[in-house]
């Protein structure tokens, strides 16, 4: 009986770990992107782009609002490329080339993309 209980516990633990872990990592990515987006010492995207998130604090309006991202960027790679280097699409862009100038790491850019892609 004790062995059966141990085995059942192991199965239950495995089931409990497998599902939520995958979901949590996507949630964690979005949370990380959210932190980067609003942090004035990191991405500081909020200083130019408003976004419909209650934590938005003193949003700027030099860039377009982050809205309808999936419709406007059906290809997520194009959205990422825009953030990585806005001067490709607009050589006179005032948006800093976030990836090219190492303002954010590649992982942080991935996280920001996931975050804004929800809006």
Residues that bind ligand HEC (CB under 6 A): 43-45, 47-49, 62-64, 72, 79, 82-83, 86, 90, 93-96, 98, 112, 116
Collapse the DSSP code of 35 into the 3-class scheme (helix H, G, I; strand E, B; otherwise coil) and give the result.
helix
Considering the complex, what minimum distance in angstroms separates the CB of residue 17 from ligand HEC? 33
The one-character DSSP state at 51 is: B
Q: Least Å distance between CB 96 and ligand HEC? A: 6
End-to-end CA distance of the chain: 52
Between 21 and 92, CB nearer to ligand HEC: 92
Of the two residues 30 and 98, which places its CB atom closer to ligand HEC in the complex? 98
């Amino acid at each position: 009986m004790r062995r059966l209980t141990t085995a059942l516990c192991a199965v239950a633990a495995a089931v409990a770990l497998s599902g939520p872990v995958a979901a949590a990592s996507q949630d964690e990515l979005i949370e990380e992107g959210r932190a980067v987006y609003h942090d004035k010492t990191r991405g500081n995207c909020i200083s130019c782009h408003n976004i419909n998130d209650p934590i938005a604090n003193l949003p700027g309006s030099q860039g377009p609002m982050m809205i309808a991202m999936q419709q406007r960027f059906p290809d997520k790679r194009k959205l990422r490329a825009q953030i990585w280097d806005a001067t490709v699409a607009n050589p006179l862009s005032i948006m800093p080339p976030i990836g090219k100038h190492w303002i954010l790491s590649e992982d942080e850019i991935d996280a920001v993309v996931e975050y804004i892609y929800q809006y």
